[in-house]
């Protein structure tokens, strides 16, 4: 459940943040957050999958030498098997996978900050300048100076 909230919380927060301005700006911001999280999660899944495949190869070669290891996985669910395979992966592979996952999370967090700043700046720009229909503080100021 926490992974789901981690994926969608910036997306949902974009809709309730009053500083984001217009609804279109909020939707654009939410889409960018969702895209950022999805890309990061796909990267994490790919790294974990590659680690599990390497571990599966190591585990299968160990089963050939000691057939009683195969009994450990009989009747187990897919997640238990994947966890066993990841656990069977060599230590350097697990360290590299952890580093790549950490890097992906770091990039996700950095991009989250950039996205937030971009859409906050865009909302501020719209609020403090005139809009297409001529509303806003600067539009009123401009209208007052052109009347005289």
> What is the 8-class DSSP label of residue 132?
T
pLDDT for 46 equals 95
In 3-state terms the chain splits into helix, strand, coil percentages (rounded to 5) of 85, 0, 15
Q: How many CB atoms lie within 10 A of CB 72?
A: 12
- 10 Å CB burial of residue 136 (0-12, 13-18, 19+) is middle
Of 16-20, 97-101, 124-128, minimum mean pLDDT range: 124-128
**pLDDT value, residue 130:** 44
CA distances from 20 to 24, 31, 32, 103, 122 (A): 9, 13, 13, 28, 8
Per the prediction, the chain carries an average pLDDT of 80
- Residue 20 and residue 123 in contact, taking contact as beta carbons nearer than 8 Å: yes
Q: pLDDT tens for residues 106-137?
A: 999 999 999 988 888 888 777 655 444 445 55
What's the whole-model pTM score?
0.70
């Amino acid at each position: 459940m926490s992974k789901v909230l981690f994926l969608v919380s910036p997306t949902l927060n974009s809709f309730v943040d009053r500083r984001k301005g217009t609804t279109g700006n909020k939707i654009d911001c939410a889409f960018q957050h969702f895209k950022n999280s999805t890309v990061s999660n796909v990267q994490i899944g790919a790294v974990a999958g590659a680690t599990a495949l390497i571990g599966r190869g190591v585990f299968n070669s160990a089963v050939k030498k000691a057939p009683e290891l195969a009994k450990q996985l009989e009747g187990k669910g897919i997640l238990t098997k994947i966890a066993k395979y990841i656990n069977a992966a060599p230590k350097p592979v697990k360290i590299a996978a952890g580093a790549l996952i950490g890097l992906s999370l770091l990039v996700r967090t950095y991009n989250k900050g950039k996205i937030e700043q971009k859409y906050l700046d865009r909302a501020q720009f719209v609020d403090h300048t005139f809009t297409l229909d001529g509303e806003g503080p600067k539009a009123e100021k401009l209208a007052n100076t052109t009347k005289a």
